[in-house]
Amino acid sequence: MKIASVSENKSIEKRIAITPEIAKKYISNGFELFLTKNYGDHLGFKDEEYESFGVKFSSDQKEVLVKSDIIIQLGLLSDENLSILKENQSLIGILDPYSNKEKINNLIKKKINSFSLELLPRITRAQSMDILSSQANLAGYKAVIESFAFFEKAIPMMMTAAGTVPAAKVLVVGAGVAGLQAIATAKRMGAIVFATDVRIASKEQVESLGGKFLTVEGSENLETEGGYAKEASEDFKKKQEELLAETLKKIDIVICTALIPGKRAPVIVKKPMIENMRAGSIIYDLAAIQGGNTELTEVDKIIENNGVKIMGETNILNKLPTSASNLYAKNVFNFIINLYDKENKKININLEDEIIDKTLIK
């Protein structure tokens, strides 16, 4: 069975889906691998390294795609490449079915199996395949590093003969995987860390990392069965706004991570709150690509309002592409091994397997 991957548009996506380490694993499991020339060159992964394991290359993307059974990418292929896919091929990646509904429906009509890995169920057996967790972990870490780079004061408390420099105060909005990593990173670097989340269950996790959990009095647990946050009631939002408004007056750096799958990111930090923050404060909005958690967020821009800088990028993982690719490639490999019937050398779309059923777009 042939697995293929073609180069992404590197101006948008620097990550790759197959690293040399994982290429070796695929081949040892009986797969053939077919990649486009210079596939991992920009990350220091030379074609010769892949070829030493038996990977084949072509400079023709069409040839790579047409000759494959399984295609692994980060995002959805270009329209031109999608048009050449044929019946019974399988496309695996972060396909964003909410935004690409029409394109994916066309693939379904052509009887192309489309597996979108962000739809993986949050069950123990799927943890090794969980691309959202592995990528969010890195994003949370990098968001802290980026915001600290723009902050023009020291982060840890420093006691000197000339006086004491107070520790920076960080607020993390949303305590999912990205948020928890942001808390851990900021804490390691000496900041005083606060966090807020609509899921009460995250309180224990925040506190275990040394953060202080801010909660609205009498709040309910707004968590879905899948472990994601769900939309809050208007009453909760009002109480949360009041708590946030007071807290933000004392905060130096805010890391926003709150997302609702398939919907616009909730607007949590309003303009009046930002205007009451101290000049020189930083907001890094990881939800920027889905509209942002602040009213002022603009993707790939640094907005300054009343001395406060607000920033957020299309893809922060482009700043950690090697680490992100290594984790993503391992996640996808584990997914394919679960999908593959080694004895009969074909994929087995067993819809009784929750992992396959939830990720296959039907």
Catalytic residue among 228, 278, 323, 353: 228
Catalytic residue among 47, 58, 96, 122: 122
Catalytic residue among 5, 114, 130, 328: 130
Share of the chain above pLDDT 70, in %: 95
Mean pLDDT of 149-170: 96
Looking at residue 286, what is its pLDDT? 97
130 is catalytic: yes
Catalytic residue among 133, 135, 205, 325: 133
Mean pLDDT of 268-289: 96
58 is catalytic: no
Q: Model confidence at 343, in pLDDT bands (50, 70, 90)?
A: confident
Looking at residue 230, what is its pLDDT? 55
Mean pLDDT of the chain: 93
Categorise residue 38: left if φ over 0, alpha if ψ from -120 to 50, beta otherwise. Answer: left
Q: What are phi and psi of 77, to 5 degrees?
A: -65, 165
228 is catalytic: yes
Catalytic residue among 127, 208, 264, 300: 127
